[in-house]
Amino acid sequence: MAAAALTTASTAATAQVRDPGANAFYDNFNDQLARLPAAFQGDVRAFYELTGWRPVWNADRLRALQTAASRAERHGLSQADFFNFPALAVDPAATEMRTTVAALGYARVLSEGRIRPETVEDLWEMQKNRIDLPAGLADSITRNTLVDWYEGLAPTDIGYANLSAGYVRYRRLIRDGGGWPLFAAGPTIEPDTSDPRIQPLIRRLVAEGDLDAAAGTRLTLAGTFYGPELQTAVRSFQTRHGLASDARIGAGTQRSLSASAEDRARQIALNLERRRWLARDLAPERIEVNTAAAIMVYWKDGKPVHSNRVVVGSPANQTPSLEKPFASVVANPPWYVPASIARNEILPRGPGYLAANNMYISNGTVIQRAGPTAALGYVKFELRDSYAIFLHDTPSKSAFNLSMRQRSHGCVRVQGAVEFARLLLSPDPEKLAEFDAAQDSRETQRIQTGREISVRLLYWTAFVDGQGRVAFREDVYGRDDRLAEALGIAVSLPRPVDDGARVATDVGP
């Protein structure tokens, strides 16, 4: 009874210091809350508990919110999907809390993304970004820092910032001139020949920055000849799209040229969404594998210091999106063949195949001995709790020269893996010497790195390359399609085509 009396007295005291509008808001709070989407009711209640159960959206704060909302395009988003300020003002009694819902909804998308990644990927185990949105919004209003708070919700790393700038540039291309002209498919255009498609090609290369405007004007006047200067620009285009940089405009290059500016802008928006899913605090030392591009980058002290080509999972055996640590390398590792590979691809070939490939069976498991032809090559990088996904060397070096390097059973094969292992061990000369000795003796040995190194397996089909250009890759795993469908975005991207035959004897992980 004493507690009830105290609560009543406290409520009465609070009501006495509110103005009539605040009292009306407080009295009708629960009724208005019940009319809001259920997914937001908890956050809205938490927000107003922090702000003293008072209306907060005065004219100045609404202007700040409108400023923050006007920057939605930078994130591949449409302001109209979150805010309709005239509609919010139609019903004065509901304006306050509906504005809060819109503010929290936009903040949630910037900080966490619109879609839960598990719903569009079969296996996604990364560190998600999570923040206390009601507390952040309340604090930014109290401190009059609303715009700055919104600016800090999305990723602030250079990769996101550059990709965001790329999205804005592609949108500007679309608004100002409709993008670029359609490139018609046809026979291969060989260097030093003429073709009527050269003219639309020039405009396309200028639009995306592979050819500067002055050169484009000069080459346009020169007609339809495919000369050396234009060939250099085509090589730039091919490199950005992960194609063989040979200046031949064949089927693969023509597929990439067939994409419209609208499709590329939407592809960038999909990848901005993927980046918003991820935790913002990144380990200064880490390994990032982009499975869409089949490229690995090693970061040290927060800077990219080394990159390799890799071979990753095929469309039927996709490398998942994972974030796992590793702390040891295995020199000259044997391969314990997963049961599915043994059952489907090795055992049916009989004892002769096992003997020829230095394999044997122990307790029902097929094991391949270490050696120069072993599937794991001369080194394996073990990841903890990674669903048997790991990084490793390979004797099948030719696949690194292909444009489409999605062809493993899910593990990541690293080009120059032995030298990469030496780079990781180089901070400790004793451990490096231990690894080198194992390589000389060809004996299996595990060497601890002395520290945990984070490995992130990512899927980015649009990213900014080392020259600051937006690079694109084909959607080999079909994840752009699934994410676009979940977001209600229509995309029509080039279909991937394998440019290399599978090696019949390549059964590595």
Q: 1 or 71, which is more confident?
A: 71
In the predicted structure, residue 282 carries a pLDDT above the cut 70: yes
Q: What is the pLDDT of residue 178?
A: 84
In the predicted structure, residue 17 carries a pLDDT above the cut 80: no
- Encoding tokens for residue 339? 């049961």
Report the distance separating Cα 18 and Cα 287, nearest Å. 56
Integer CA distances (angstroms), 483 to 192, 316, 458, 459, in order = 42, 18, 15, 12
In the predicted structure, residue 402 carries a pLDDT above the cut 80: yes
In the predicted structure, residue 8 carries a pLDDT above the cut 50: no
Average pLDDT over residues 418-423: 97
Query: What angle do the packed helices 38-50 and 92-112 form, to 10 degrees?
Result: 100
187-212: pLDDT as tens digits: 999 999 999 999 999 999 999 999 99
Torsions phi, psi for 446 (to 5 deg): -95, 130
Going by pLDDT thresholds of 50, 70 and 90, the confidence category of residue 12 is very low
In the predicted structure, residue 129 carries a pLDDT above the cut 80: yes
Going by pLDDT thresholds of 50, 70 and 90, the confidence category of residue 285 is very high
For residues 174 and 261, the answer to whether their CB atoms sit within 8 Å is: yes
Report the distance separating Cα 270 and Cα 462, nearest Å. 8
Q: What is the pLDDT of residue 26?
A: 82
296-321: pLDDT as tens digits: 999 999 999 999 999 999 999 999 99
Going by pLDDT thresholds of 50, 70 and 90, the confidence category of residue 2 is very low
What percent of the chain lies above the pLDDT cut of 90?
Answer: 82
Q: Whose CA is closest to 279, among 429, 402, 426, 126?
A: 126
Q: How far is CA 429 from the centre of its chain?
A: 35
Report the distance separating Cα 221 and Cα 105, nearest Å. 52
Q: What is the pLDDT of residue 177?
A: 82
Average pLDDT over residues 262-272: 97
Sheet with 365-368, side-by-side order of all strands: 335-336, 365-368, 359-362
Mean pLDDT of all residues in the chain?
Answer: 91
Residues near 55 by beta carbon (within 8 Å), at least 6 away in sequence = 21, 22, 25, 96
Going by pLDDT thresholds of 50, 70 and 90, the confidence category of residue 505 is low
In the predicted structure, residue 1 carries a pLDDT above the cut 80: no
- By three-state DSSP, how is residue 455 classified? strand
- Encoding tokens for residue 243? 């194609």
Report the distance separating Cα 287 and Cα 47, nearest Å. 39
- Encoding tokens for residue 34? 């019940």
In the predicted structure, residue 19 carries a pLDDT above the cut 80: no
Q: How far is CA 146 from the centre of its chain?
A: 28
| Residue 19: half-sphere exposure toward Cβ, Cα within 13 Å | 3
463-503: pLDDT as tens digits: 998 888 899 999 999 999 999 999 999 888 888 877 766 65
Q: What is the pLDDT of residue 13?
A: 43
Of the candidate ranges 36-45, 127-136, 337-346, 415-424, the one whose mean pLDDT is the lowest: 337-346
Q: Which residues pair with 128 in a beta bridge?
A: 278
Of the candidate ranges 5-9, 148-152, 296-300, the one whose mean pLDDT is the lowest: 5-9
Q: Are strands 412-414 and 391-392 parallel, antiparallel or unpaired?
A: parallel
In the predicted structure, residue 237 carries a pLDDT above the cut 70: yes
Whether this model's pTM surpasses 0.75: yes
In the predicted structure, residue 421 carries a pLDDT above the cut 50: yes
Q: What is the pLDDT of residue 508?
A: 72
Report the distance separating Cα 52 and Cα 322, nearest Å. 42
319-363: pLDDT as tens digits: 999 999 998 999 999 999 999 899 999 999 999 999 999 999 999
Sign of the alpha-carbon dihedral angle for 162, 168, 169, 174: positive
